[in-house]
Chains A and B, each alone.
Chain A
């Protein structure tokens, strides 16, 4: 059986096509990711973009729409996707996906372009509690991205640069709009760019950490979402949470879509 999970993120759309494999004698069903696909919606509206991303993913996997038993969708724009079988929250999807990659996970930290949240997960991979700040850009990836652009760096370079800094410059503003002016004045004061990069990533990490603290920090911790690609951010988050280790899955941005596909498969039984 094939199922699909779609994550309608604020920045990009992620599609995961999952195949269920029956192994003789194995107590549990096994799954294999057939295809993980990511697309930027560009000018398209949510439903059209989802349609396009889904079709492209199917094509890349050599599948047809009728091969797919169920399509589950998550993310901020999920209600606009008309062809989906069912919608699930980002917390549920992220928790299930993280649990699949790392069964020992108890805390999922999800940092995407416009949202950041901490989710407490039980042994079965169910989200039991969460804290997020969905209506505020502080503590989300787009803030780091905007700041990296101000320094004419990619988000990746920005993260790497921050690792070269050992300075701690505290940022006072809680709001992204106000923090932007703080960064501008740092640039004007000829502060080295690696120190600014560290200050920004520390600020994002401290805000994320504060959210996670509300649900309680329990190991193992898994970081998902696009910001997991930034080595500098992972390092800053480790220090903020005061933990030795943060588990990073492969393709961190697609974990919620994977969680969706898993939930779709499990609910067919």
Chain B
């Protein structure tokens, strides 16, 4: 019986690898390349002890712990710094990769009806899930091995072979663990969208739990599966226990997924789709309200999710903005007000680093909304709308309006959450005005990013992947720029580089004006393209 359930798994794995090879290769090369390049960069910038000691001070601060993960004590080499600072970020990238690939493979194929066709052949019930699992194993462990080799090539001082393999494969297994979460969520609900939302919900909870325990009590981080990547103690104790825990977690999650898969029907989940309304409500009366309705769930989930994320970051302001804690002597030297303003300066510095993360995160649902013009065109949802007296210009303007509202709303919610977190944690919280200023400065660059997305969807929808690549590049440049001691020019490649210091500095109006002008031009290019080109 068991063997019957897995008939043709090997064949389907090969088939899936062949079908996805380009995507898998790009992910693997990009991830391993980034990892190795940063490792090599670390070798040159942290070559002497003075440089290491100075960056260590910064990295030990609660702000950096929140962003990059907990720095273990007794760090002394550039390899230690690399291991401590890169793991959380690379693990996040692995989560994104695994979620997108696994959910597409499982729910995506099921939605398009491919699963049904395949299952009609002499193929086992569980073979498709089995094939995806094997694909995930090959991909994640392959990338893990590339990491290990990359570390050996980059030749950081303070590495050892065991540590190289632990860090590389550990990250690989972490990715695999999240592939198992995505596989499990794909069994529970009956569509790709809900699976994605659910999977990210699991990850979001783990991320916030990891961040708070890292700051309050790092031992507690052991309870958080996402926190296990921080527990390798690479190049010091080289502890393989977290890897073992990940493997156990992965086995359990996949076993559950297989169990549910064997019980459920194709196109169904544990939770069935509820029936909808018999008639449309009065609000659903045009394309604008249609787009709002289609993206309602996404807007709500992102707004609430990022409000919570903002709040969590805000609630550590008191830890971050307390220089007395790290240096009690300062109280003697400086007056009370001087200390307060120093604390505020540190918090503002922290906010300026958070801003890029917040901006990138709030751009995701906005970009998705504009991309949806292309997706629903490809899927044929818009076919009948095009036959209605609804001009393309209206569709386009509706889509970019909903996208802009979404992004600006989500960003506002995040900053408001941040403010509330500050109020909750600090005796003398930062005024709302500070956050409003940061928000105002980030409007123009986010609009440029949305404008670029619109321009690409309007003129060359096939290149839509570039939008996410550019967004990721912007994140990496801003997020790691300081740590990698990058020169000034890469920062200037993205619109965020021109307002980076907000709210430490105020954005200058000229910058805002020319950025808005560029955004308008980009939206205009998209408009011209979309109203003239062939639709699918």
Q: Do A and B come from one complex?
A: no
Which residue numbers of A lie inside 8 Å of B, CB to CB?
Answer: none
